[in-house]
Chain A
Amino acid sequence: MSALKIKKGSNKHSAYNLRPNFSDVTERHTLAVLVDNEAGVLARVIGLFSGRGYNIESLTVAEVDHLGKLSRITIVTTGTPQVIEQIKAQLGRIVPVHDVHDLTVEGASVERELALFKVAGEGDKRVEALRLADIFRANVVDSTLESFVFEITGTPEKIDAFADLMRPLGLEEVARTGVAALSRGV
């Protein structure tokens, strides 16, 4: 576990860690869920969200510890503080879930997302797209005479901003991975 840089058990007694103020304000939280990499585990997590009416803004999953057969699911969700606490508690009682971390409240964290943008155009628009891609530190991973595929990494906000800029320049298709996130420091 320690190799994965996850503080173990810091959210074990979620009921005790409630913030005193139960406001009605909707918050955005990034949750990191460590699960056994077994058949159906993603369906359990998604089924929990759909069955109980919680939101999923973004979800990524991949095996992160091959020997320990553990996968990490990163979920960006929204809800009032009470709903967020309930989501964490409900996730925690799924049997193959080992740990649930709320990166939004457990200190500082970094969030990154990768996206691919296909932009088609000619002349000035094509030059402008390339110039903006350079500013955003996007890489060209495919190129034809009529199109580029850009690869960009960053926070979801940065990728949103890049999408806004590409739209008038001939944006054809977007593929985004969803958020991957880790807490800062050790």
Chain B
Amino acid sequence: MTRQMTGAKIVVQALKDQGVEVVFGYPGGAVLPIYDEIFQQNAIRHILVRHEQAAIHAAEGYARSTGKPGVALVTSGPGATNAVTGLTDALLDSIPIIVFSGQVPTFMIGNDAFQEADTVGITRPCTKHNWLVRETDALSSTIHEAFHVATSGRPGPVLIDVPKDVQFANGTYEAPTKTRTSHYQPQVKGDMDEITKLVDALERAKRPIFYTGGGVINSGSAACQLLRELVDATGAPITSTLMGLGAYPANGKGWLGMLGMHGLYEANMAMHDCDLMINIGARFDDRITGTIDHFSPNSTKVHIDIDPSSINKVIRADIPIVGDVGHVLEDVLKVWKARGRKTNTEAMAKWWKKIEEWKTRDCLSYKQTGKIIKPQYALERLEALTKDHDRYITTEVGQHQMWAAQFLGFNDPHRWMTSGGLGTMGYGFPASIGVQLAHPESLVINVAGEASWLMNMQEMGTAIQFDLPVKQFILNNERLGMVRQWQELLHGERYSHSWSESLPDFVKLAEAFGAKGIRCDDPEKLDDAIIEMLEYDGPVIFDCLVEKHENCFPMIPSGAAHNEMLMGNDSTGDAIGAKGAVLV
């Protein structure tokens, strides 16, 4: 079906036809025609953020918590450049978002016009794909293609740059079609020979481990179900990256906890000592592997990934399987069942015994003594008081993020939104806004550090305007905790610029925006304060004053291997050698 309409109307119509309900954005000169169309309809809700970076993070939060693509709308020039951090964040974490940017009219492009930037040039390396649409007739097909590209294969951010004259001009609108015309069709079915090899290895493995990542969650809830079935049926242990938390439940019997730099001792030891590693939708990130030379030296490595470029990029896979996690796991289960559901039960029992020994190290132990709240204690209490809620957690980046990953349990996918690959301070607050919009009745908590939180604190305005009861749980140590920790370990305790000077009074800040502020500095009053936060119907800034010099353990120091973790009570004097010091 084709119709004639203006480019601006085409944008709104295409969004409707793609099933978009919410757009996060900020108006400006080059997108006024689109805003005019948004004004004249009610099907799509526009959420006015206070900074374009926040629009992208909110769209990411929306996307991660729903499995649907997030949509943002920004103006030309500074609007587009402010979106760059969010786009890069979504690219590194494979989050499907579609960003529309206004552009100066086509006849002015290249003239250094007011608020002109080479947006497709700037965003080329930080999007999965982008388009500059020069003709109104090409607009609708480009938008439909953009949704296809963002959501298929390995998901990612895309950007459509729409010059203002293209928005004003009349053109033909074409509705999305079921039959795909795009040549971009990533492979979803895995190679059956390789899948059979995997099943064969699984049947014989003495010390298998599943190592899963965000790819499982991106593949969808069916993939998560299949993963649970496979792990539970084989009885093998499972660990996950930061991005993959919730794909397998934290209360599941195979669960070892997160792995990696600040992962659990038992998870990292099991990765090091395993004889079969099954990587499902993870990418051997440097936060996971530690030093590559000593990474899991004696294991056969299986790598299931929809992106062929992930395979053999860092770690050589013995059994590479290119395909969608859901499709591949379905086939794996089918083959494994058809061959009689075999596992090496005897060896596996021994393996679990070893793992139980590692667990007795109790690697997350800390002591809550005295009158100062330990950050771990704060999160343990938050977990205890909220785990039975319909709960979504976002985080900022730093120590609090790692503690949240260690101390909060996720039994379902889409419940945990954090900036993994890019490590974007300022991600969590706007992301919590996106999550709350998608789940208005649910409890949404942003676990934050005071420094990260200040990076996008302007979004208090958005939370108040749209009545979003997001809870900002700030672990306030008046420090850039992770930076401080590294300076302690690596730079002779010279704490260069890693403390938060001139902090605002967070309670008054909340009140200034019309929200509720709660401060707590007493471990004995913490529970009551958290309950007060939960019971308040509206946004809350919770200023939790915590121990200032707490370090985040366990930790694989830079340049070390999985079995060389630092524990909380270890001496840390020369933990990082000269080779490790150059790593981040």
Contacts and interface: CB of A to CB of B under 8 A. Distances in A.
Given A43-B124, A95-B129, A95-B149, A15 B183 contact: no
Interface stretch (A23-31, A81-89, A101-109, A155-163): A81-89
Nearest to B132: A39
Contact of A89 (B121, B187, B311, B317): B311
Contact of A85 (B120, B187, B312): B312
A14 interface: yes
B125 A51 contact: yes
A3 to B, nearest CB: 17
B316 interface: yes
A86 B124 contact: no
A93 interface: yes
A13 B322 contact: yes
Nearest to B183: A98
Contact of B311 (A15, A22, A40, A47): A15
Which interface residue of A36, A82, A95 has the most chain B CB atoms within 10 A? Answer: A95
Interface in A52-104: 82, 85-86, 89-90, 92-96, 98
A15 B129 CA distance: 23
A39 B307 CA distance: 25
Contacts of B184: 95
Contact of A15 (B121, B125, B154, B312): B312
B182 to A, nearest CB: 9
Contacts of A82: 312, 316
Interface string B353-368: 0000000000000000
A96 B313 CA distance: 22
Contacts of B313: 86, 89
B312 A44 contact: no
Contacts of B469: none
Interface string B312-345: 1100110010100000000000000000000000
Interface string B117-160: 00011001100110010000000000000000100011000000
Contacts of A132: none
A39 B191 CA distance: 35
Interface residues of A, number: 25
Interface in B168-189: 183-184, 187
Contacts of B120: 40
Contacts of A14: 308
Nearest to A44: B124
A15 B124 CA distance: 25
B: contact size bracket = 20 to 34
Nearest to A85: B312
B309 A86 contact: yes
B194 interface: yes
Contacts of A39: 132
A94 B307 CA distance: 11
Interface string A8-28: 000011111010001000000
Nearest to B145: A95
Contact of B309 (A16, A93, A95): A93
Nearest to A87: B309
B203 to A, nearest CB: 22
Nearest to A94: B129
A18 B129 CA distance: 27
A89 B308 CA distance: 6
Contact of A92 (B121, B149, B309, B316): B309
B191 A16 contact: yes
A83 to B, nearest CB: 10
B122 to A, nearest CB: 11
B121 A43 contact: yes
A16 B194 contact: yes
Nearest to B148: A95
A90 B309 contact: yes
Nearest to B311: A15
A15 B120 CA distance: 30
Contact of B320 (A15, A43, A92): A15
Contacts of B320: 15-16, 18
Contact of B312 (A86, A92, A94): A86
B309 A89 contact: yes
Given A40-B121, A95-B149, A96-B129, 16 more contacts: A13-B187, A13-B308, A13-B322, A15-B317, A15-B320, A16-B191, A16-B322, A40-B120, A43-B121, A47-B124, A82-B316, A85-B312, A86-B313, A89-B308, A89-B313, A98-B183
5 contacts: A39-B132, A44-B124, A47-B124, A90-B309, A93-B154
Question: Which 4 pairs from chain A and chain B are nearest by CB?
Answer: A89-B309, A95-B129, A15-B311, A15-B320
